[in-house]
Amino acid sequence: MKAVTLHAKAPAKINLGLDIVGKRDDGYHDLRTIMASVSLYDTLTITLTPCETGEETFTASAEGVEGDNLAARAARLFMQRNDLTGWRVHIHIDKRIPISAGLGGGSSDAAAVLRILHEWRPMAQNALAGLALELGSDVPYCLHGGTCLAEGRGEVLTPLAPLADCWVVLVTPPVSISTVEAFRRYDEKAVPPRLEGNVFEDLLSIPVVAEIKQTLTGAGASNAMMSGSGPTVFGIFEDENRAKTAFDTLRAEFPKTFLTKPV
C-beta of 57 vs 178, nearer to ligand C5P: 178
Q: Which long-range contacts does 191-195 make (Cβ < 8 Å, 24+ apart)?
A: 191/20, 193/19, 193/20, 193/21, 193/32, 194/19, 195/17, 195/19, 195/32
What is the closest distance, in whole angstroms, from the C-beta atom of residue 205 to ligand C5P in the complex? Answer: 19
C-beta of 22 vs 162, nearer to ligand C5P: 22
What is the closest distance, in whole angstroms, from the C-beta atom of residue 180 to ligand C5P in the complex? Answer: 5
Torsions phi, psi for 58 (to 5 deg):
-135, 110
C-beta of 161 vs 180, nearer to ligand C5P: 180
Contacting residues toward ligand C5P, per CB under 6 A = 28-29, 31, 136-138, 153-154, 179-180, 183
What is the closest distance, in whole angstroms, from the C-beta atom of residue 36 to ligand C5P in the complex? Answer: 18
With CA atoms as reference, report the closest residue to 100 among 133, 74, 138, 132.
138
Quote the CA–CA distance of 134 and 245 in Å, as a whole number. 41
What is the closest distance, in whole angstroms, from the C-beta atom of residue 127 to ligand C5P in the complex? Answer: 19
Q: Indicate the DSSP class of residue 145.
A: -
> Which residues are catalytically annotated?
13, 138
C-beta of 31 vs 75, nearer to ligand C5P: 31
Q: Are the C-beta atoms of residues 85 and 76 closer than 8 Å to each other?
A: no
Residue type, 141: Y
